Amino acid sequence: MKIEKQVLGGEATLVSPMVFRLDPRSGVPTYLQLVHQVEHALRLGYLTQGDQLPRIKDVVASLSINPNTVLKAYRDLEQKGFIASRPGQGTFVKVAPDTVGLPELTELRRTLVAGWLRDAAAAGLDEDGIVALFMSALRDFHDRPAERRPSRRDGRRRREGVA
């Protein structure tokens, strides 16, 4: 388990704008908690492109967890394309996940309420039924990333237009 020694910024300096915490009672595996927290930080803007993630050494020391756990989380994020590791320097944010602007969100919400939700209610589904159906459809959707691509590209182009 050889981990690259990363550039030192002195003992107490933290190189990253974000910090991790662990919830031992959540039942979520530790590496997944780290993954979720990075994704969350990206969505909320605590982390943006070019930012450095906490050094493995620092995460390990502050949470007292196995270095392999941090490596696993960072590898997972790397595979998702969010981060890239630069040997000898550290791990950096490559791209923030697509965030959707407010006008798009409002429009999406309108079509959901006026269209699908109204149909579902008319068909006799109660609230729990709607949630169950939606979650199940969402899972299917996630299992087939090919179907997702067009909407994503669309979202990015439109956001540029807004900005």
Considering only CA atoms, which of 1, 45, 5, 38 is closest in space to residue 21?
38
Q: Which stretch binds another protein (CB under 8 A): 57-65, 79-87, 93-101, 150-158?
A: 57-65
Residue 43 parent element (H or E)? helix 30-44
- Using CB under 8 A as the binding rule, whether residue 68 contacts another protein is answered as yes
Q: DSSP readout, 66-104?
A: -HHHHHHHHHHHHHTTSEEEETTTEEEE--PPP---HHH
Task: Using CB under 8 A, pick the residue from 34, 42, 65, 93 that binds another protein.
Answer: 65
**151 φ/ψ angles, rounded to the nearest 5 degrees:** -65, -35
Task: Using CB under 8 A, pick the residue from 16, 30, 37, 91 that binds another protein.
Answer: 30
Q: Which stretch binds another protein (CB under 8 A): 41-49, 55-63, 82-90, 100-108?
A: 55-63
- Using CB under 8 A as the binding rule, whether residue 14 contacts another protein is answered as no
Give the binding site for another protein (CB under 8 A): 1-3, 5, 11, 22, 24, 27, 30, 56-57, 60-69
